[in-house]
Amino acid sequence: MAKEQDLAGRILELIGGKGNIAAAAYCMTRLRLTLADPAKADTGSLKKTAGVLGVVESAGQLQIILGPGVVNKVADEITALTGLRMGEVQDFKAAYEDKNRTPFKLFLRKLASIFVPLIPAIVASGMIAGLTNIVIRMGGDPKSSLVLILNALGWGVFTYLAIFVGINAAKEFGGTPSMGGLAGVLIINPAISAITIGGAALVPGRGGLIGVLLVAWVMCFVEKRLRKIVPNAIDIVVTPALTLLITGFATYFILQPVGGYLSDGIVAFFKSMLGWGGAVAGYVLAGTFLPIVMTGLHQGLVPIHMEFLNTLKENPLFPILAMAGAGQVGAAFAVYLKTKNQRLKDIIKGALPVGILGIGEPLIFGVTLPLGRPFITACIGAGFGGAWQAITHTSSIALGVSGLPLAFLIKPGQVGNYLIGIAIAYVAGFLVTWLAGFDDPRDESTGSGMRL
């Protein structure tokens, strides 16, 4: 851990010291820091620090890309050095006075804060659901104890994901987390199927995670308003009860129908795009996804992926977007074979395995984006894989990581199509990058550097 300890110390030094951290968190690849005074950070030196694959300023956060397996260790070291737990916010007014605040950026920040902490549970459950698929395809009895246990492990989080989302949403909206969990319960409770409003029976789960976010926001709004007028002596009893009562009626008469229309509309939009656009739509979606990942905005698509699964029981969008990473893998192979820069070769050797496994940030910020042209050629190559996935109507049955592991989550009978799409993106990304070439960065040890 000495290496991670040194890296954590260097990061703290370059961001202006531990006193400049207003809030800290991390995800699968990124250390996410909100700084009290962003001007104190030396981002130029930070980008050149060994072990740092890239630095992104997004939605008011300084996101330091370290890669999977490294980021959690560095986060632990930063916690040890500062005493600030990941997810904890210090009392800095500046943390909320970001110069670049806009409603859209704040919205994206909240979405990321709600869904990023859930990704490990979603990925773990998705992979086990995929393993269950494999066991059944290999002749396993769907009613056997092994398959039933795997089903319970793999699908449990998706059954109750609304509650987790509600809890995290309440934290972000300034309410009580347990009341946010109730927002999820209001949406998925099987008991509501016996309720008829306006001649139509309520449907458990309708509105999905979008509905949960709406309900959680309203619940937090009501709760905070009630706490201003309810006497302290009875607040603990009256405020939660009135909050649930008011929000509950609002949910079933207004919020769940609205959430249902929104979620249905989003799914219908993408479904129509793929239906009418076919290969062209697949190409565009896959070819433009890497820039979205680069900015961190891809976390905002989690509710959309879940709505596909909730509404259609399959997701045709996820395999298409997964081709973005495959195109980049092909591009990185081309760079590795052409470059004379040993440090770049070492970065690619470390980043390629996780890229193949569906984690693209190390390749983005360590290889393709700094080189410039390979980032564009990776997007071009990805588009060909996306076009294939679109015309073959390949879908996933759960949410997990992309890359090769996603094959475990592909709808039965379509795994071959998915793997062909990955191969197409690999080859296209490689060929376009090889033909387009790039400016080989100067190797400080040899002084070499040229146009390749």
pLDDT at 382 over 90: yes
Residue scoring higher pLDDT (221 or 77): 221
Do 348 and 428 lie in one domain? The reply is yes
CB 358 within 8 A of CB 29: no
pLDDT at 63 over 60: yes
Highest mean pLDDT out of 93-97, 225-229, 385-389: 385-389
- Average pLDDT (262-268) is 87
Do 426 and 304 lie in one domain? The reply is yes
Q: What is the pLDDT of residue 447?
A: 52
pLDDT at 132 over 50: yes
Distance of CA 361 to the CA centre of its chain: 12
Q: What is the pLDDT of residue 21?
A: 84
Using pLDDT thresholds of 50, 70 and 90, give the confidence band for residue 449: low
Q: What is the pLDDT of residue 98?
A: 47
**Last residue within a domain, chosen from 59, 77, 101:** 101
Say how far apart CA 329 and CA 94 lie, in whole Å.
40
Tens digit of pLDDT for each residue in 323-380? Answer: 999 999 999 999 999 998 888 898 888 889 888 988 888 888 888 988 889 999 999 9
Q: What is the pLDDT of residue 31?
A: 86
One DSSP character per residue, 115-179 reads HGGGHHHHHHHHHHHHHHHHHHHTT--TTSHHHHHHHHHHHHHHHSHHHHHHHHHHHHHTS-HHH
**Last residue within a domain, chosen from 265, 295, 311:** 265
Q: Is residue 361 part of a domain?
A: yes
Q: What is the pLDDT of residue 213?
A: 93
pLDDT at 185 over 80: yes
pLDDT at 387 over 80: yes
Q: How far is CA 73 from CA 12, 65, 115, 136, in A?
A: 15, 13, 21, 37
Q: Could you confirm whether 220 is annotated as catalytic? A: no
What is the overall mean pLDDT for the chain?
A: 85
pLDDT at 92 over 80: no
Do 291 and 393 lie in one domain? The reply is yes
Tokens representing residue 395 in the block: 């879908």
Using pLDDT thresholds of 50, 70 and 90, give the confidence band for residue 91: very low
Using pLDDT thresholds of 50, 70 and 90, give the confidence band for residue 97: very low
Q: Is residue 150 part of a domain?
A: no
Q: Tell me which residue range forms the domain holding 212.
A: 160-265
Q: Considering the chain, what percentage of its residues have pLDDT values greater than 90?
A: 36
Q: What is the pLDDT of residue 444?
A: 57
Nearest CA-CA partner of 322 in 273, 391, 366, 388: 388
Nearest CA-CA partner of 307 in 260, 274, 258, 273: 260
Tens digit of pLDDT for each residue in 137-183? Answer: 788 888 889 889 988 998 888 889 999 999 999 998 889 999 999 99
Q: Is residue 338 part of a domain?
A: yes
Do 323 and 429 lie in one domain? The reply is yes
Identify the helix (H) or strand (E) that includes residue 32.
strand 30-35
Given 8, 15, 27, 376, which residue is catalytic? 27
Q: How buried is residue 265: exposed, middle or buried, by Cβ count under 10 Å (0-12/13-18/19+)?
A: exposed
Tens digit of pLDDT for each residue in 397-443? Answer: 888 788 888 998 899 889 999 999 999 999 999 999 999 998 888 76
Say how far apart CA 130 and CA 127 lie, in whole Å.
5
Do 259 and 288 lie in one domain? The reply is no
pLDDT at 93 over 60: no
Tokens representing residue 204 in the block: 């458990």
Nearest CA-CA partner of 307 in 318, 291, 298: 318
- Average pLDDT (235-243) is 92
Do 381 and 260 lie in one domain? The reply is no
CB 176 within 8 A of CB 170: yes
Do 70 and 187 lie in one domain? The reply is no
Do 393 and 244 lie in one domain? The reply is no
Do 199 and 312 lie in one domain? The reply is no
Q: Is residue 124 part of a domain?
A: no
CATH (domain of 62): 3.30.1360.60
pLDDT at 446 over 60: no
Do 336 and 418 lie in one domain? The reply is yes
Q: Is residue 442 part of a domain?
A: no
Tens digit of pLDDT for each residue in 291-325? Answer: 888 766 676 778 888 888 888 889 999 999 999 99
Q: Is residue 80 part of a domain?
A: yes
**Residue found under tokens 């995800």:** 27
- Average pLDDT (379-387) is 96
Helix/strand/coil percent split, the chain, to 5: 70, 10, 20
Q: Domain count for the chain, please give it.
A: 3
Q: Is residue 113 part of a domain?
A: no
- Average pLDDT (16-32) is 81
Using pLDDT thresholds of 50, 70 and 90, give the confidence band for residue 96: very low
Q: Is residue 221 part of a domain?
A: yes
Q: What is the pLDDT of residue 116?
A: 75
CB 238 within 8 A of CB 225: no
Q: What is the pLDDT of residue 284?
A: 94
Do 312 and 424 lie in one domain? The reply is yes
**Last residue within a domain, chosen from 241, 265, 289:** 265
pLDDT at 193 over 90: yes
Q: What is the pLDDT of residue 221?
A: 95
- Average pLDDT (242-253) is 96
Using pLDDT thresholds of 50, 70 and 90, give the confidence band for residue 381: very high
Do 28 and 88 lie in one domain? The reply is yes
Say how far apart CA 65 and CA 368 lie, in whole Å.
14
